[in-house]
Amino acid sequence: MGYTTQASTPVEVHITTLTGTLHGTQITPASNMPEPAVLIIAGSGPTDRNGNNPLAGQNNSLKLLAEGLADHGIASIRYDKRGIGESAAAGPEEADLRFDTYVEDAALWIQQLQADSRFSSITVIGHSEGSL
């Protein structure tokens, strides 16, 4: 791999959906050649892009995972699901949430990663419901 162990500064990224904007954070290691990328999807409930949940507390597990991946030359995007964190406005009423909507959102993030020539491959990882 052509990376250094120093990750770039996290960058805020977003995608636009029919019901609003989903917000995320991208970390891309410094590199002069295409590197793998990972889409990190948070679990069920009010878990944000960093892995924090008001019910379970703040542990930044997904943020730490993304930083660890970057230290090994792997880029990542992690995002707030509909109705959570900065993506709160994109969320419909809870009764209108559907599993398929989360799958469609993940597909949009994957398309964004695939369109970026800095990435050689895309892998999706998630916890709990985030495993889609």
Task: Parse the chain into domains and list their residue ranges.
Answer: 3-131
pLDDT class for 132, splitting at 50, 70, 90?
low
Mean pLDDT, the chain, whole residue set:
90
pLDDT tens digits, 51-64: 999 887 799 999 99
Given a cut of 70, is residue 3 above it in pLDDT?
A: no
pLDDT tens digits, 104-123: 999 999 999 999 999 999 99
pLDDT tens digits, 10-43: 999 999 999 999 999 999 998 888 999 999 999 8
Burial class (CB in 10 A: 0-12, 13-18, 19+), 47: buried
Burial class (CB in 10 A: 0-12, 13-18, 19+), 39: buried
43: how many CB neighbours lie within 10 A of its CB?
17
Given a cut of 90, is residue 5 above it in pLDDT?
A: no
The CATH fold of domain 3-131: Rossmann fold (3.40.50)
Given this model, what pLDDT does residue 28 score? 95
Q: What residues are paired with 126 via a beta bridge?
A: 41
Given a cut of 70, is residue 85 above it in pLDDT?
A: yes
pLDDT class for 76, splitting at 50, 70, 90?
very high
Contact 99, 130 (CB under 8 A): no
Given this model, what pLDDT does residue 6 score? 56
Quote the tokens at residue 57.
């507390």
Given a cut of 60, is residue 7 above it in pLDDT?
A: no
